[in-house]
Structure 1
Amino acid sequence: MKKLIIITAIIIFGISNYSNAATDYARRVDGYFYTSLRTHGTWIDVGFGTPVWRPTIIRKNWSPYYYGQWVYTNYGWYWDSYEPFGFIVYHYGRWYYDDYYGWIWIPDYEWAPAWVDWRYDDDYVGWAPLSPYAVFYVNIGIHYTYDYYVPYNHWNYVKYNRFCENNVYNYYVAPKYKYRVYNRTKVRTNYSYYDGRVRNNGVEFDRIREKVGRKIEKRNLVAVKDPNELNRQRNGNTKEREIRTYFADERDLSRDGLRDVKIEKSDRKSSLEMSRIELGKERTTDRINERKVEENRKIEKERTVEVNRNNTDRTRNDINKNRVEDEKRLQEKQKIEKRFSEIENRNNEVTKRNDVIIRNEQIKRNQDNNREERTVNNNQNEVRKENKRSNTEVIKQNTDRKVEQKIETRVNENRNRVNSNTNRDTDVRKNESGNRNETKNNTRESVNNNKTRSR
């Protein structure tokens, strides 16, 4: 009996702690989230009064951070969602995949460009929703209150050259290859605090820019407290270098309460460990401490300004005293400089005169040299002319001789031709006379033969 009493007491104590954590959590997340998301999904009580939101999924194989675009901003990598509820659920709270309910969203007030885990290697970069056991601390970054690993099939992978595409979901790795890519990549979860907000550093910008191979423009985030202003951005009425995001304080988010929201109660409890979820607990104290630090910095700046003012007043008096002494010193320096300037002017005049004399002498020398060169050139030209004349006469004589020789050779050739032609004519005549005699003899013989035959 004692053992049973002890066991029941322990169970009741654990349940009370669990329910207290859930009720504290429920108090923190009421307000704007409920009224804004009710048209896009249902609110469910998954146990111990803990409300979560489940979207009305129409597409097959839907998952968070699927339809959208990655944009690099002054707060790191920002997920620009194409879904109507994306301005809340991808910048506030956490996502969790329950075996019974599917994807559910756990609200939280902390804003970030995107609450995701990162994985990468030399070829691929991937992301998955950050678990609800991950809490952001200003001095630490992401701290996990429970050992939970995102399953490999909940990751979206893409090659670097497609990472910044508008419709990046068209280039995701196929589901059958996710396990292979998961094993070859390593985790990279890097969050910091910048200018009063969370910054998602993710995979280094320089690495992605180098792998993408083109310029990635850095855009400035502009905080908007009215979600209707986000629609104007979609219509193209804002500057290209700016991107608008919904950002509101905790007071604005929790002002409406749960008046008109219906929360479905289910007998099936979620697999979430609510006692391990610490969303929103420690960060309020961190923000208070940061505000105190900022106030102290302002006070120190004001003190330094006052000290500088006092120092300036003291220095002014010292400056007035030193001005008189400086003026006297300046007057003495000016007198000395005048003396030196007069001496320099005199020396300059002397040097100018000497330069003029030297120039005139050089001009005379150059003129004499030019005259001598002209006479020498004239003599050389006369000699050249005489040589040319003698050469022309010799050339003429040689040409005349050559012409005479050519004429003689032509005459001799003509004579030889005439003699050869006469010899040919005599030979032809002799041959013709011989042929005639032969024909006569032949005719005579034929006549005689005919006579003998007739007899």
Structure 2
Amino acid sequence: MKTKIKSLLIFALIIFSVSLTKQLSAQQNQISFQVFYDQLSPYGQWVDYPEYGFVWIPDGGSDFIPYSTAGHWVLTDYGWTWVSDYDWGWAPFHYGRWDYDSFYGWFWVPDNEWGPAWVNWRQADGYYGWAPMHPGVSITITFHREYNERNDHWIFVRNRDLDRPHINLYFVNRSDHDRIIRNSKVIKNTYQDRNRNTTYVSGPDREDVRKATGRKVRPVAVKENSNPGQHLKNGRLQIYRPQVNNRNDNEQRITPSRVTNLKDLKESSERRNTNQPKNVNPSNTRKERKSNAVNPPRNSTKEQTRKNRTEKDKKRSE
């Protein structure tokens, strides 16, 4: 009897130790927004944007478009996953959301949920398309008919070209977007990540892509990277994707070490592109990227807001 009780106690102790180890490991793998602030600072500007707080504007030049410039799609267990050629791509394409300002260009709003790519997907006869998901919008809302991204925020390719490594060379001319969108429907495929208690939009169905491309679509294995960065090699995507704690337990506001004043930031067309991808495709020259990327037109409402803000600043200084 004593031996049996002793065995049960040992077994319970082992279970407790394993559980405690997992909890400690999870805590150690957690980061705060400070990691985003520190890791992205060399590649762009942190600004205090009125609507969102601290946002990041990459030094990618006026032709930069998220989920379009310098990267491509691969299929993983989580769905279609964006693999960026930028050193910093592990963060802004897998956490948070992107928004567009007519003066400053594209900017990134941090968030704590990891995903294969925070985009909406559409399909039409012979086409697939995607667009950055708006900040603060859940994926269930994006499935509703009332939710619409601007037509000029979408990227479309022929469905046979979705898995191309040099996908930027296959973008459909933007003049065809209105026609394609009118005849398209939302792709509502999702993947539920039980480990992170998060649901992702997984994009086009694997079998549909296989039929369209005529090629086998082999999923890429996602492996944890211990340091910031990502690397795709031999059918494995090693990527840094820690749990992010969006609460500050120290009661001290976490901020970027260097914040640029919005008034001092130049218009996107005037800012230099000092942020080159680490793995530039041989055929993906600057000239070709520029010819394939299409900048959204100015948004008169946001432009007027910027002018009003500038006028208020002038009056305040007087």
Q: TM class by shorter-chain length?
A: 0.5 to 0.7
The 5 A counterparts of 1:200-239 are 200-227=201-228, 230=230, 233=231, 236=233
Change in Cα spacing, 1:144 to 1:80, as seen in structure 2 (3 Å) is same
Q: Percent identity?
A: 30
Match of 2:237 among 238, 243, 261: 243
Deviation at 1:224, TM superposition (A): 1.7
Match of 1:65 among 49, 52, 67: 67
Report the Cα distance in structure 2 between the residues aligned to 1:222 and 1:117, rounded to whole angstroms: 24
TM-score (norm 2): 0.64
| Residue of structure 2 equivalent to 1:31 | 34
| Residue of structure 2 equivalent to 1:264 | 260
Which structure has greater helix proportion?
Answer: 1
Q: Which amino acid is the alignment partner of residue 109 of structure 2?
A: I
Report SS of the residue matched to 1:110. coil
Change in Cα spacing, 1:260 to 1:156, as seen in structure 2 (3 Å) is closer
Deviation at 1:96, TM superposition (A): 0.8
Report the Cα distance in structure 1 between the residues aligned to 2:133 and 2:32, rounded to whole angstroms: 18
Q: Which amino acid is the alignment partner of residue 165 of structure 1?
A: R
Deviation at 1:208, TM superposition (A): 1.3
The 5 A counterparts of 1:21-420 are 30-47=33-50, 50-58=53-61, 60-66=62-68, 67-135=70-138, 141=140, 149-197=148-196, 198-227=199-228, 230=230, 233=231, 236=233, 240-251=234-245, 258=254, 261-266=257-262
Report the Cα distance in structure 2 between the residues aligned to 1:249 and 1:219, rounded to whole angstroms: 21
Which structure has greater strand proportion?
Answer: 2
Report SS of the residue matched to 1:133. coil
Between 1:258-267 and 1:113-122, the stretch displaced more is 258-267
Deviation at 1:267, TM superposition (A): 6.4
Deviation at 1:104, TM superposition (A): 1.3
Which is higher, the Rg of structure 1 or of structure 2?
Answer: 1
Report the Cα distance in structure 2 between the residues aligned to 1:148 and 1:111, rounded to whole angstroms: 22
Change in Cα spacing, 1:201 to 1:144, as seen in structure 2 (3 Å) is closer
Matched-pair contact (CA < 8 Å) for 2:112–2:246: no
Provide structure 1 residue ranges, at least 5 long, that are not aligned to the other structure: 1-27, 272-455
Report the Cα distance in structure 2 between the residues aligned to 1:133 and 1:250, rounded to whole angstroms: 17
Report SS of the residue matched to 1:88. coil
Matched-pair contact (CA < 8 Å) for 1:32–1:252: no
| Residue of structure 2 equivalent to 1:449 | none
Matched-pair contact (CA < 8 Å) for 1:32–1:253: no
CA RMSD of aligned residues (A): 3.0
Report SS of the residue matched to 2:179. helix
* 1:340-374 Cα deviation digits (max 9, x unpaired): xxxxxxxxxxxxxxxxxxxxxxxxxxxxxxxxxxx
TM-score (norm 1): 0.46
Provide structure 2 residue ranges, at least 5 long, that are not aligned to the other structure: 1-30, 265-300, 303-318
Matched-pair contact (CA < 8 Å) for 1:135–1:144: no
Runs of 4+ in 1 over 6 A off after TM superposition: 252-257
* 1:19-77 Cα deviation digits (max 9, x unpaired): xxxxxxxxx9731111011111111112278111111122x532110121111111111
Aligned residue pair count: 230
Q: With CA pairs under 8 Å and 6+ residues apart, which has the higher RCO, 1 or 2?
A: 2
